[in-house]
């Protein structure tokens, strides 16, 4: 028999049991969609960091604990480290060294979560974020150092209900007045930018920094400069590439966790396919016996059952991609409203992965039923009612 006959017979076999077929395909659809949505979060965040880091990140970042500094609850780099960096500026081609204090104000309500970012008012916001655009008010000026003022990102303003002249509480003891609101777009959408000493006083971190952002005269030698500077200062020094590698490692770990969660649903979907196909084998014993009697080889019967399993899984996989894409649109609508970024993305490699897993699921789920169908004896099959 021709391969076209195989596909037609397989499709007919599935359509003969439409309710069972549809329910099984829906189970795979939900399993694949959950995997697509979970893994798309990692893909989206990768895109955001890759696109934005060059615009907002320093050439080098100096800290006490390296990339783990971002998870430290309190600034722990002595302010004296800034003098050491500036003392070797000419030797290492350092154009500018900017002290930074970072503090995350979080809560159960995401609309009340901000990244508090303190930097010297004299050096200005654009010393670290050169591409920021101002929508309302003004940026920080040298006269603002030590004063209770702040420039907020567009989403931070929207989420917190902040306008020009509004007061943002840092804690029970202190608050700052909003003097500027940034335009939409970029990672700074959820930032609150303050004068360095204002934030240090507000979080009781006088004399301490989170990091030193370094701009180089020549960025091409950043990796070598970072290595030599770390040896000289006995501090951790990272480049933009180091930060991207750190993000990539963290995302891979989170991808593995999310895939592990999705795997449970995928296994359930696979078992549903196996159950549906196995039931079909038992119900169509006489049909398989007739095929064998008119000359079909055992291998054809095995291929027929596997083809049905693959068709089921392929239908579920395509449906899962469509449902997953709709889920991604919903996730991005939420994260755009909250932080101004698309946190999820359906990339070509994720699409291929979802389809490949669907087909592999169908193949594995169909192996046992196919083996059972292949081993049926003609006389036994035709003798069943």
Sequential pLDDT tens for the chain (385 residues): 455 667 777 777 777 778 878 888 888 888 889 889 988 888 887 777 666 555 555 788 888 877 654 444 578 899 999 999 999 999 999 999 999 999 887 655 555 678 899 999 999 888 888 888 899 999 999 999 999 999 999 888 888 889 999 998 887 788 899 999 998 876 788 889 999 999 999 888 899 999 999 988 887 788 899 899 999 998 988 887 776 676 667 667 777 777 787 778 788 777 777 777 777 666 666 666 566 566 567 667 777 778 888 888 889 899 999 999 999 999 888 877 766 678 888 889 889 988 998 888 888 887 877 777 666 665 554 555 4
Q: What is the pTM of this model?
A: 0.63
Residue with token string 């798309």: 40
Please check whether residue 93 is in contact with residue 217, taking contact to mean a CB–CB distance below 8 angstroms: yes
Nearest to 1 by CA among 285, 288, 290, 301: 301
pLDDT at residue 71, rounded to an integer: 45
Domains of the chain: which residue ranges? Answer: 3-49+250-383, 65-234
Name the token pair of 369: 């039923």
Report d(CA 167, CA 176) in Å as an integer.
Answer: 5
The set of residues, in sequence order, having a beta carbon less than 8 Å from that of 10 and lying 6+ positions away, is 304, 307, 308, 311
Please check whether residue 316 is in contact with residue 28, taking contact to mean a CB–CB distance below 8 angstroms: yes
Please check whether residue 311 is in contact with residue 273, taking contact to mean a CB–CB distance below 8 angstroms: no
DSSP H or E run through 13? helix 3-15
pLDDT at residue 24, rounded to an integer: 82
Please check whether residue 124 is in contact with residue 215, taking contact to mean a CB–CB distance below 8 angstroms: no
pLDDT at residue 3, rounded to an integer: 58
pLDDT at residue 298, rounded to an integer: 66
Name the token pair of 324: 């997953």
Burial readout 164-187 (b: 16 or more C-beta within 10 A, e: otherwise):
eebebebeeeeebebbbbbeebbb
* CA dihedral sign, ordered 333, 334, 335, 337: positive
pLDDT at residue 200, rounded to an integer: 92
pLDDT at residue 118, rounded to an integer: 94
pLDDT at residue 296, rounded to an integer: 61
The set of residues, in sequence order, having a beta carbon less than 8 Å from that of 41 and lying 6+ positions away, is 254, 258, 331, 343, 344
Nearest to 187 by CA among 303, 59, 56, 96: 56
Report d(CA 361, CA 128) in Å as an integer.
Answer: 49
Please check whether residue 121 is in contact with residue 141, taking contact to mean a CB–CB distance below 8 angstroms: yes
């Amino acid at each position: 028999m021709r391969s076209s006959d195989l596909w037609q017979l397989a499709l007919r076999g599935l359509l003969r049991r439409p309710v069972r077929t549809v329910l099984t395909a829906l189970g795979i659809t939900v399993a694949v969609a959950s995997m697509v949505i979970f893994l798309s979060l990692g893909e989206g965040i990768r895109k955001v960091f890759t696109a934005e880091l060059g615009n907002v990140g320093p050439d080098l970042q100096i800290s006490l604990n390296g990339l783990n500094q971002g998870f430290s609850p309190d600034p722990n780099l002595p302010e004296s480290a800034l003098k050491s960096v500036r003392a070797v500026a000419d030797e290492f081609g350092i154009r500018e060294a900017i002290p930074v204090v970072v503090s995350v104000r979080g809560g159960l309500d995401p609309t009340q979560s901000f990244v508090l970012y303190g930097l010297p008012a004299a050096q200005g916001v654009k010393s670290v974020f050169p591409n920021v655009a101002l929508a309302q008010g003004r940026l920080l000026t040298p006269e603002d150092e030590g004063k209770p003022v702040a420039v907020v990102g567009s989403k931070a303003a929207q989420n917190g209900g902040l306008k020009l002249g509004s007061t943002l509480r840092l804690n029970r003891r202190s608050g700052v007045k909003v003097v500027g609101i940034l335009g939409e777009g970029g990672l700074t959408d959820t930032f609150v930018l303050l004068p360095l000493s204002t934030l240090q006083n507000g979080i009781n971190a006088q004399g301490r920094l989170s990091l030193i952002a370094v701009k180089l005269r020549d960025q091409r030698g950043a990796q070598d400069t970072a290595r030599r500077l770390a040896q000289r200062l006995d501090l951790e020094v990272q480049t933009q590439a180091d930060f991207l590698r750190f993000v990539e490692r963290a995302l891979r770990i989170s991808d593995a966790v999310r895939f592990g969660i999705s795997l449970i649903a995928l296994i359930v979907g696979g078992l549903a396919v196996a159950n549906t196909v196995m039931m079909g084998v038992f119900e169509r014993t006489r049909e398989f016996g007739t095929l064998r009697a008119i000359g079909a080889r055992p291998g054809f019967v095995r291929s027929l059952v596997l083809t049905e399993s693959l068709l089921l899984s392929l239908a579920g996989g395509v449906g899962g991609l469509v449902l997953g894409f709709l889920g991604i649109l919903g996730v991005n609508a939420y994260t755009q409203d909250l932080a101004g970024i698309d946190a999820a993305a359906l990339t070509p490699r994720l699409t291929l992965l979802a389809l490949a897993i669907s087909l592999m699921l169908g193949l594995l789920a169909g192996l046992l039923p196919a083996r059972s169908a292949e081993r049926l004896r003609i006389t036994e099959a035709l003798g069943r009612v």
